[in-house]
Copies of this chain bind each other. A is one copy, B any other.
């Protein structure tokens, strides 16, 4: 059965991005330190059009994380282009390049809906103005039996958890502290949120933790 899966890097102090996020530094101050392991790893490099890298304990985790995905949901901030209405003359097309690494429909949560944007390589951005339930429902339909990936950021992952829509959460726990930033799991209701450990993988520079959301 199709699952709704999210994954995110996280620091030991619980942040999925550093403080002072800007359009030119979307990961925030020090946020790139969450992703050092991914930059070194071959499968992740390949997914972003880069050659080389190590095949290591992260590789099967990344292969699994990116397999069987039929559609993606992400927040407006992850799609980029800044807050507020789209520039009508030259509407933002994402910062993922002409051939984004999704190769599926991508449903972008926004208060400013617009027409879909078709990119190369099978990625089409759809803009959803009526919330996480609608976005996940549309993504599940588009995925046609495959899984839906909640790509982030933290706010979108939390919306999916709060709405009881998330089946599985993969945390890439990096051995760093960021001292502030975007909290991945802060502010959730402890009474309404229960996790089960599914898998733990010790890899170079990161620990991959997969949890099932119990409902």
Contacts and interface: CB of A to CB of B under 8 A. Distances in A.
Interface in A177-191: 177-179, 183, 185-190
A196 B209 contact: no
Contacts of A197: 175, 202, 205-207
In this complex, the interface size class of chain A, counting residues with CB under 8 Å from chain B, is 20 to 34
A183 B13 contact: yes
A177 B196 contact: no
Given A14-B14, A185-B13, A178 B196 contact: no
A200 interface: yes
Contacts of A179: 187-190
A55 interface: no
Nearest to A13: B185
Interface in A47-68: none
Interface of A: 12-14, 18, 30, 33, 171, 173, 175-179, 183, 185-190, 193-197, 199-202, 205-207, 209, 211
